[in-house]
Copies of this chain bind each other. A is one copy, B any other.
């Protein structure tokens, strides 16, 4: 099925300084490094590796080393067993989700503390909302239950929510989706064709990068220096690369937690209008301000070409898989037939439950912010105490710290920390081309006692990396 190939030069570049930072025989170091790249998602699945002879020549090791490394990976289930045609990357059998892009992995089943996903538990009100929804369900059971744009009541409730928050909206400007990622995939299908460019924050949400690349589009990353957005950088990217789409997490950016100022929003919206680029603001984290309340719609902006994605996932619960798109009526209508080529609608009961959750959100969101504010403080204190070399700042909202490490060891840290009971998503997962080896995302979504345990594990793992840190710094520097 669709086997792509990776050339020896590209693979060597991905491997970086694979012989640094670990002990043991060369074949094992090579196998471990390749395993990490596969688990990490940087070496995609179903990719055919170069032949052994070629690989040995490019990596400047013996052919025996390569053969032994690949045999080990085969034994562990990371390469398929066919000989001759070139080894192909895969994931081992067994607990299904294991390793898949690490962010999607379940934690409980493997006894690791999951710092790879930044997703809080369900709000207390979720069960009650489902119970209320269940009592309304009988009225819908005689019908077939499909609605491409969503249940009328929920579309109205989401529209009213925008209106209440200062952005007048009608129900026909809303499409209900299976979460914000699904909403983004639909927008990609609507606006982009193969080869089109999509401007993104850099770093940004890993699954957004996946969605762009799997839609055969090209991410055009713009860095995030300083505290706000780099308006000049964004404007230049919009002007120069002629993107169809630009995707920003303006309200408590994932992973950095920053918030886009009204002036930046205005300037970016104007620049996008000039280049006829559709701007997407992913508002998945907008409810999670932890310092001053924000007023995201308290400025004039051109509404045309601006699309907002919302989600119940972080404000209430990810297990609901419910989100929405807010756009102009034409866009919403154009989305409906596109959606039918991906799926036929959002489950009805979830939509009824969402109406109840939105109606009672004021109290429940306040409680959720209190909880997260407390956990943010706990994690900041823990990191500053146990890992004083790491630079962390208190984000104004969102779900995670974006810690800066003194050396580009994020991937090694993620690998080592699993041995100390902690699963991490390494910095490069949040970027393209191997960037962010000097950063690690640390979510504060878990309970305080679990966070304490996790930081213990991190500190131990980090201590293991240290001896080899000084030499590694120079050789890995080029990857940052």
Stretch at the interface among A122-130, A234-242, A363-371: A122-130
Min Cβ gap A331→B in Å is: 7
Binds B, one of A219-227, A318-326, A377-385: A318-326
A295 within 8 A of B: no
Residue-wise, chain A 197-212 has the 8 Å CB interface mask toward B (1 for contact) of 0000000000100110
Which residue, A108, A122, A126, A322, has most C-beta atoms of chain B within 10 A? A122
Q: Nearest-CB distance from A409 to chain B (Å)?
A: 25
The SS class assigned to the A binding surface is loop
Which of B97, B331, B349 sits near A350, CB closer than 8 Å? B349
Task: Determine the distance from Cα of A51 to Cα of B331 in the docked complex, in whole angstroms.
Answer: 24
Q: In which size bucket is the chain A interface? A: 35 or more
Q: Which of B138, B144, B211, B342 has a CB less than 8 Å from the CB of A182?
A: B342
Contact A121-B146, Cβ < 8 Å, known A45-B337, A321-B344, A333-B91: no
On whether the beta carbons of A97 and B172 are closer than 8 Å, the reply is no
Residue numbers in B under 8 Å from A141 (CB-CB): 121-122, 126-127, 317, 319
Shortest distance in angstroms between A5's beta carbon and chain B's nearest beta carbon?
14
A215 is an interface residue with CB less than 8 A from chain B: yes
Bound-complex Cα distance A12 to B360 (A): 55
A137 at the interface (CB under 8 A from B): yes
Which residues on B sit within 8 Å (CB–CB) of A348? 319-321
* Known contacts A194-B216, A337-B210; A145 and B182 CB within 8 A of each other: no
Decide if A96 is an interface residue (CB 8 Å cutoff): yes
Report how far A122 CA is from B141 CA in the complex, Å.
Answer: 5
Which residues of B have CB within 8 Å of A91? 333
Interface positions, chain A 77-94, Cβ under 8 Å from B, are 80, 90-91, 93-94
Q: Is A179 in the interface zone, CB < 8 Å from B?
A: yes
| Interface membership of A260, Cβ < 8 A | no
Asked if B182 contacts A336 (CB within 8 A), the reply is no
- Chain B residues near A207 (CB, 8 Å)? 340-341, 344
Task: Kindly report which residue of chain B lies nearest to residue A138, judged by CB atoms.
Answer: B127
CB distance from A22 to the nearest CB of B (A): 26
Cβ of A345 within 8 Å of any chain B Cβ, yes or no, is: yes
CB pair B336 A97 closer than 8 Å:
yes
Task: Evaluate contact between A347 and B322: CB separation under 8 angstroms.
Answer: yes
Please state if B340 and A146 are interface contacts (CB–CB under 8 Å). no
At the interface, yes or no: A147 with Cβ under 8 Å from chain B?
A: yes
A3 → B minimal CB distance (Å) = 11
Could you say which of A23-31, A183-191, A417-425, A434-442 contacts chain B? Answer: A183-191
Pair B46/A334 contact, Cβ less than 8 Å: yes
Q: What are 28 A-B contacts with C-beta separation under 8 Å? A: A1-B191, A1-B334, A41-B337, A46-B334, A93-B329, A94-B172, A96-B332, A96-B333, A97-B147, A97-B148, A100-B148, A104-B336, A104-B340, A121-B142, A121-B143, A141-B317, A144-B319, A145-B321, A179-B343, A182-B343, A182-B344, A194-B216, A207-B340, A210-B337, A210-B341, A321-B348, A343-B343, A349-B349
A interface residues (Cβ-Cβ under 8 A, vs B): 1-2, 41, 44-46, 80, 90-91, 93-94, 96-97, 100-101, 103-104, 106, 108, 114, 117, 119-122, 126-127, 130-131, 134, 137-138, 140-149, 155, 171-172, 178-179, 181-182, 185, 189-194, 207, 210-211, 213-216, 244, 278, 317-322, 329-334, 336-338, 340-350, 445
